[in-house]
Structure 1
Amino acid sequence: MSIPSFMADQITIIRDEIIPEIPEEVFDSHEFIRSFSKRFELEYVKFLNSYKTEPFRNVHAQIGKFLAENQEDLHIKSKGKTISENIFGIDNLNEKWEKLH
């Protein structure tokens, strides 16, 4: 199963459980990925394992694209770019999101 298909199947959990569990009203993709990967650890590892090169970059890019393409359904809004630490502790550019209520 592709990452977008999996996320589409889990959109209710993502919208109603994962996003609300992020403590800040404005969060970034790195924060979302940390929460998503905890909730769906086995699937996340399988997605990473499906890439021979740059697995984190490939998986994380698809997760970010899903957020961008499903803002309305997820009750979030893009707030531009920000710099934050990725899972390796390296600062890099990613998307910032605001929760909509």
Structure 2
Amino acid sequence: KFFPRYDSPYTVIDTHPETSNYTLELPNSPNTFPTFHSSELKPHFTNDCSLFPLHKMAEPQPVFTNQVFKSILFKTLSTPVDVTMDTNTSYNGLAMD
């Protein structure tokens, strides 16, 4: 709760050299004051994949909206399935009716 937190890199909108403050673009943070002192900021260094190939960020998974999910579900449920039972199959447990 009281530990310093460093989130993802943000874009610097304005600088205030007389006070060493920076105004950042903070998306989706309406309750946070966007001006910070330089001592509270860290520089962002992008990953060099040639030096650290295993540190590559994972690709985000696709986001499904309700409409896309419903269409995938409808296509899956409306696809006919051929079910055949092999009579020579042995089962462990209860018999199938």
User: Shorter-normalised TM-score: what interval?
Assistant: under 0.3
More relative contact order, 1 or 2 (CA 8 Å, 6+ apart)? 1
TM-score when normalising by structure 2: 0.18
Instruction: Kindly indicate which of the two structures has a greater share of residues assigned to helix.
Output: 1
TM-score by length of 1: 0.18
Structure with the higher strand share, 1 or 2: 1
